[in-house]
Amino acid sequence: MADGPMVVLSDESQRTSGEDARSMNLEAGRAVAETIRTTLGPRGMDKMLVDQGGNVVITNDGVTLLEEMDVDHPAADMIVDVATTQEEEVGDGTTSAVILAGALLANAEELLEQDIHPTSIVAGYRHAAETVTEVFEDIATEVDPDDTEVLEQVAGTAMTGKGAETAKDLLSSMVVSAVRAAVREDGTVDQDAVDVRQFYGASIDDSEFVDGILFDIEPVHQNMSRNLEDANVLVYEGDIEVSESEVGAEASVGDMTDLQGFVEREQSELADKVDKIVEAGADVVLADGGIDEYAAELLVENGITAFRRVDDDKRQRVAAATGAERVGDLKLLTSEHLGHAGSVHERVIRDVTVRRQADHESTVVFGDLPEEGVGTILLRGGTEHVLDEVERAVVDSIGVVSAAIEDGNVLPGGGAPEIEASLALREEADSVEGREQLAVEAFAEAFEDGPRTLAENAGHDAIDALVDMTARHDAGDVNVGIDADTGELVEMFEDGVVEPLRVKTTAVNSAVDASTMILRIDDVVSAGDLSVGGEDEEEGGAGGPPGGMGGMGGGMGGMM
Among 118, 381, 414, 557, binds ligand ADP (CB under 6 A): 414
| 65, 38 Cβ separation under 8 angstroms | no
Please report how close the Cβ of residue 498 comes to ligand ADP at its closest, in angstroms: 8
91 CB-contact burial (10 Å; exposed 0-12 / middle 13-18 / buried 19+): buried
- The conformational region for residue 459 under phi > 0 = left, psi -120 to 50 = alpha, else beta, is left
* Residue nearest ligand ADP, CB atom distance: 413
With respect to ligand ADP, which residue has the nearer C-beta, 39 or 510?
39
**157: nearest Cα among 475, 397, 420:** 397
Residue 355 CA: distances (Å) to CA of 64, 200, 320, 360:
20, 9, 30, 11
Residue 356, C-beta contacts closer than 8 angstroms, at least 6 positions apart: none
Residue 329, C-beta contacts closer than 8 angstroms, at least 6 positions apart: 238
User: What mask, x for binding ligand ADP by CB under 6 A, covers residues 467 to 506?
Assistant: ---------------xxx------------x-x-------
Please report how close the Cβ of residue 472 comes to ligand ADP at its closest, in angstroms: 15
**443: nearest Cα among 12, 166, 129, 35:** 129
207 binds ligand ADP, rule: CB under 6 A: no
Among 16, 35, 160, 232, binds ligand ADP (CB under 6 A): 160
182 binds ligand ADP, rule: CB under 6 A: no
94 binds ligand ADP, rule: CB under 6 A: yes
Please identify, among the stretches 153-161, 192-200, 204-212, 307-315, the one whose residues bind ligand ADP according to the rule CB under 6 A: 153-161
Q: Give the whole-angstrom CA distance, residue 154 versus residue 403.
A: 10
44 binds ligand ADP, rule: CB under 6 A: yes
Active site residue 169: no
Please report how close the Cβ of residue 327 comes to ligand ADP at its closest, in angstroms: 44
Please choose which of ligand ADP, Mg ion, none residue 42 contacts, taking the beta carbon within 5 to 8 angstroms, the exact cut-off set by kind. ligand ADP
| 105, 515 Cβ separation under 8 angstroms | yes
Could you give phi then psi for residue 31, rounded to 5 degrees?
Answer: -60, -40
Active site residue 61: yes
Residue of 51, 70, 72, 396 with catalytic role: 396
Please report how close the Cβ of residue 156 comes to ligand ADP at its closest, in angstroms: 8
With respect to Mg ion, which residue has the nearer C-beta, 70 or 92?
92
Q: Give the whole-angstrom CA distance, residue 113 versus residue 25.
A: 15
Residue 54, C-beta contacts closer than 8 angstroms, at least 6 positions apart: none
| Contact positions vs Mg ion (CB under 5 A) | 92
Residue of 35, 59, 64, 94 with catalytic role: 94
With respect to Mg ion, which residue has the nearer C-beta, 92 or 292?
92
Q: Give the whole-angstrom CA distance, residue 67 versus residue 57.
A: 11
Q: Give the whole-angstrom CA distance, residue 6 versus residue 93.
A: 47
Residue of 95, 131, 363, 506 with catalytic role: 95
Please choose which of ligand ADP, Mg ion, none residue 131 contacts, taking the beta carbon within 5 to 8 angstroms, the exact cut-off set by kind. none
Q: Give the whole-angstrom CA distance, residue 142 versus residue 407.
A: 9
Among 413, 500, 550, 557, binds ligand ADP (CB under 6 A): 413
Among 103, 175, 454, 556, binds ligand ADP (CB under 6 A): 454
With respect to ligand ADP, which residue has the nearer C-beta, 30 or 504?
504
49 binds ligand ADP, rule: CB under 6 A: no
Q: Give the whole-angstrom CA distance, residue 36 versus residue 507.
A: 15
Please choose which of ligand ADP, Mg ion, none residue 41 contacts, taking the beta carbon within 5 to 8 angstroms, the exact cut-off set by kind. ligand ADP
Q: What residues are labeled active site?
A: 61, 94-95, 396
- Return residues touching ligand ADP (CB under 6 A): 39-42, 44, 62, 92-96, 157, 160-161, 413-415, 454, 482-484, 497, 499
